[in-house]
C-alpha cells in the first residue's frame, strides 16, 4: 500500500512538539513514535517527561514507542551514574511495564542503566536496550556491545563509557512487534555495520539505535550513518535521541530520525526541543525495495569477504 502524504504538520504542545505525516483515512499501516528528550540526573522528572511523550504518541495512533538512550537518567559523573542505576526488576522498569500495560503500547527503552551481574563486587553496569510488549511483559534485552571510549580533543569530546560499563556479550535476535521485526542496537553500535548486517540476515525489518550523540559527532555523522544503515540493509531505521543540555558537562545533538529502506528521512525531531515524530511502517515498501534491488541475493559467501585475511 502506498502512503498518501497530504501534508507535514508541526504542532506545538507546551514544551513538546509532534511532527507527523497526515495519511489517507483508509490506511491501516502501523504507526511508530520516535521520541527525543533531555534527560537529567532527576529520575522522577525524566519519567514524567517520558510518560507524557508515550501518552501523546498513543493518542497519535502509535502502537510502538521508541525512547532514547539514557531515558531513565543521564548522570553528571561516574559515581552518580552508578548510584542511580537499578536492576531489571527495580522500580523504573516496573513503572514502565505498568505504563505499557495501561496504554496497551509496546515500548523500546534504549539505554537503561542496568546493574551488572557482579554488581556487589565490581559496581559496573550494562547499557541495556529493553523491549516491553503491550501487556508490560519484558520481551527482549540487548546489552550494548560497543562502548563509547572517545577522546576528540579538538572537538571538546571526552567520554570513556568502559570506565563504568560492561560490554554486552552477544547480539539478540530481532523481535516480532506490531510494526515488524525489530533489530536492537544502542548509539555507538550504529558505527559498526557488521551488527546491522547480522540483524538483517536474521530477519530484521526495522533497526533501532536509541542514542545520546554528542553535538560534535552528531553534526558530522548522525544522519549519514543512519541513512547508510538503512540503505545497506534495506530496513527501516528508527533512532530516538537525547537533545540539549543534560547538566553542565554534557549536551546532546538531538534530531531523532526515522529513515525508510530507500534511505529517505521520513521524520526528524530537530535539534532543540523535546518531542516525537510519528511514522507509518509500510512493510510492502520494504518488500518492493528488496525485490527491485536484491542486495542480499548478490552477497558472496562469508569466505569471500574473509579472503584477504
Active-site hit among 35, 50, 187, 235:
187
Query: Pairing state of beta strands 31-37 and 274-280?
Result: antiparallel
CA dihedral 35, 222, 201, 296 (to 10 degrees): 120
To the query of whether residue 264 is one of the catalytic residues in this protein, the response is: no
Coil vs helix vs strand at 280: strand
Q: Is 269 a catalytic residue?
A: no
Q: Read out DSSP for 24-76?
A: -TT----EEEEEEE---S-HHHHHHHHHHHHHHHHHTT-SEEEE-TTSS---S
CA distance 294 to 140: 30
Q: Is residue 102 annotated as a catalytic residue, yes or no?
A: no
Give helix 193-201 / helix 223-233 axis angle, nearest 10°.
30
The one catalytic residue in 50, 144, 205, 235 is 144
Distance separating alpha carbons of residues 269 and 279, to the nearest angstrom: 12
Residue identified by cell 530477519 is 203
Query: 19, 35, 69, 269: which one is catalytic?
Result: 69
Task: Give the three-state DSSP class for 131.
Answer: strand
Active-site amino acid positions? 69, 144, 187
Amino acid at each position: 500500500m502506498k502512503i498518501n502524504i497530504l501534508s507535514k504538520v508541526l504542532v506545538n504542545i507546551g514544551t513538546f512538539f509532534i511532527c507527523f505525516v497526515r495519511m489517507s483515512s483508509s490506511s491501516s499501516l502501523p504507526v511508530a513514535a520516535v521520541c527525543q528528550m533531555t534527560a537529567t540526573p532527576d529520575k522522577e522528572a525524566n519519567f514524567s517527561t517520558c510518560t507524557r511523550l508515550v501518552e501523546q504518541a498513543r493518542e497519535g495512533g502509535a502502537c510502538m514507542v521508541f525512547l532514547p538512550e539514557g531515558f531513565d537518567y543521564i548522570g553528571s559523573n561516574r559515581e552518580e551514574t552508578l548510584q542511580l542505576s537499578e536492576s531489571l526488576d527495580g522500580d523504573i522498569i516496573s513503572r514502565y511495564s505498568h505504563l505499557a500495560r495501561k496504554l496497551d503500547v509496546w515500548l523500546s527503552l534504549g539505554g537503561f542503566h542496568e546493574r551488572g551481574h557482579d554488581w556487589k563486587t565490581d559496581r559496573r553496569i550494562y547499557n541495556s536496550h529493553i523491549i516491553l510488549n503491550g501487556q508490560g511483559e519484558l520481551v527482549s534485552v540487548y546489552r550494548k556491545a560497543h562502548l563509547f571510549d572517545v577522546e576528540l580533543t579538538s572537538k571538546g569530546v571526552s567520554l570513556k563509557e568502559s570506565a563504568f560499563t560492561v560490554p554486552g556479550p552477544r547480539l539478540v535476535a530481532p523481535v516480532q512487534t506490531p510494526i515488524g521485526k525489530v533489530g536492537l542496537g544502542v548509539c555507538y553500535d550504529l558505527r559498526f555495520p557488521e551488527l546491522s548486517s547480522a540483524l538483517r540476515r536474521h530477519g530484521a525489518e526495522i533497526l533501532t539505535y536509541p542514542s545520546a550523540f554528542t553535538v560534535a559527532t552528531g553534526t558530522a555523522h548522525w544522519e549519514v550513518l543512519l541513512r547508510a544503515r538503512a540503505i545497506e540493509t534495506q530496513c527501516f531505521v528508527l533512532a530516538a535521541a537525547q537533545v540539549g543540555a543534560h547538566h553542565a558537562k554534557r549536551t546532546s545533538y538531538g534530531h531523532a530520525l526515522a529513515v525508510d529502506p530507500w534511505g529517505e528521512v521520513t521524520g526528524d525531531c530537530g535539534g532543540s526541543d523535546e518531542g516525537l515524530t510519528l511514522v507509518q511502517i509500510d512493510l510492502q515498501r520494504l518488500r518492493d525495495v528488496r525485490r527491485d534491488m536484491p542486495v542480499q541475493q548478490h552477497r558472496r559467501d562469508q569466505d569471500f569477504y574473509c579472503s584477504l585475511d
